[in-house]
Amino acid sequence: MELIETNQDIKTVGEALPAIMDDIEVISPASPFIEANTVSGSLSEIKQGHIIPVFIKDNEPVISHSEFIETTLSVAMEVFSGEGVLKPNIRLSHPIKGRIPEAKLKPANMLLEHEKTIYYERMAFIIEIPTIYTDIGGNRLTLSVGGVKAYNLDNLCNKSGADQHFKIFIGFKNTVCTNLCVATDGYQANLRVKNLDMLRSSVKVLLQDFDAVELSRQFREFNNHQLTEQQFAQLIGRCRMYRFLPDVDKQNIPELMFGEGQLNAVCNDYYKDKAFSRSEDGSLNLWNLFNLFTGANKSSYIDSFLDRSVNAYQLINTIKAGLRSNGTCWYLY
């Protein structure tokens, strides 16, 4: 039975799907939620085949990638009890390769599989909850949670009990393009915990406090504002100028985290994207512009992926405010 809340902003299917849908593919491998310098991984592969880093001073293990994923999955199933929760989609980067001592002198091309060791320094994952969704501009957005772990942010020279760094989020995934739509209220950029209990508690607070209806309302508002072709050109020009500005000038301008490569992708997709390109008169609504930026963000490395996702949301809100005030947005005027 379908439940519709708050003027059809958010819809839930309730118990129409089991708690974990093992037979459904999370995201098509041909279009992952992040692409740059990453490979796909599975939870079983990480648990069974990847070694776990340790704190050097006492040889105690850090919170592993699999523990992070399983903790988040467990909390999501608890908070969204009765909803369908898909298996995590996992992306990995920066492999750290090794070998067992017995194979120390073997040439690399003669190593057997059991003689190789590996773990990945950086990992991102997303868990989709497709029974909670909203529709915006003809796109279905499904509720999604996940996180990023990068061991390079931890000081592994410490003893166990030192802070370990995580990034966690809750937002929506656009099923048309697998773009991730995250706002500030659904993101913790520098979560520091000492153990799994602290991690579980922090994830639970973020998920419970998240207002999906309000965020969907904000996204829906983007449809009500348009950029002309000239305004889009002005925006792209200003974005390219931003990184060259003196620091004193940047102080009064909202930060832009997108680089030249991503801006080129936004320009290309303004003309060519099948779902979010310009209208016949060259205009572009802010929902489509937001998706051009979140689509370009797929080329970001794991380290900056979530930060740029949130930055895209912040930039579009800045532009929306500028259009309303007719002249106070540096990116447009």
**In the listed set 211, 246, 268, which residue is the last one of a domain according to the structure?**
211
Average pLDDT, the chain: 90
Find the domain containing 281 and state its range.
223-325
Say whether both 243 and 161 belong to one domain: no
Question: For residue 14, what pLDDT is reported?
Answer: 45
> Does 331 reside within a domain?
no
For helices 229-242 and 260-272, angle between their N-to-C axes, nearest 10 degrees:
170
Which residues contact residue 254 at a Cβ distance below 8 angstroms, ignoring those fewer than 6 apart? Answer: 314, 315, 318, 331
Looking at the DSSP bridge assignments, the partners of residue 188 are 168
> Does 217 reside within a domain?
no
> Does 218 reside within a domain?
no
Say whether both 169 and 110 belong to one domain: yes
**In the listed set 211, 231, 253, which residue is the last one of a domain according to the structure?**
211
Q: Is the pTM for the entire model greater than 0.75?
A: yes
> Does 78 reside within a domain?
yes
| pLDDT tens digits, one per residue of 184-232 | 999 999 999 999 999 999 999 999 999 999 999 999 999 999 999 999 9
Distance CA 316, CA 323 (A): 10
Say whether both 189 and 269 belong to one domain: no
| pLDDT tens digits, one per residue of 249-266 | 999 999 999 999 999 999
Say whether both 52 and 191 belong to one domain: yes
Q: What mean pLDDT is predicted for residues 79-94?
A: 94
> Does 48 reside within a domain?
yes
> Does 229 reside within a domain?
yes
Going by pLDDT thresholds of 50, 70 and 90, the confidence category of residue 5 is very low
Number of domains in the chain: 2
| pLDDT tens digits, one per residue of 134-172 | 999 999 999 999 999 999 999 999 999 999 999 999 999
> Does 79 reside within a domain?
yes
Say whether both 131 and 237 belong to one domain: no
Say whether both 47 and 160 belong to one domain: yes
Helix (H, G, I), strand (E, B) or coil at 264: helix
Res. 12: pLDDT tops 80 = no
The Cβ-side half-sphere exposure at 103, using a 13 Å CA radius, reads 14
Say whether both 153 and 236 belong to one domain: no
The neighbour count for residue 246, using CB atoms within 10 Å, is 7
Say whether both 207 and 237 belong to one domain: no
**In the listed set 211, 240, 275, which residue is the last one of a domain according to the structure?**
211
Helix (H, G, I), strand (E, B) or coil at 63: coil
Say whether both 148 and 246 belong to one domain: no
Q: Which tokens in the block code for residue 315?
A: 């930039």
| pLDDT tens digits, one per residue of 57-75 | 999 999 999 999 999 999 9
Say whether both 194 and 166 belong to one domain: yes
Res. 29: pLDDT tops 50 = no
> Does 192 reside within a domain?
yes
Say whether both 206 and 140 belong to one domain: yes
Say whether both 139 and 245 belong to one domain: no
Question: For residue 31, what pLDDT is reported?
Answer: 59
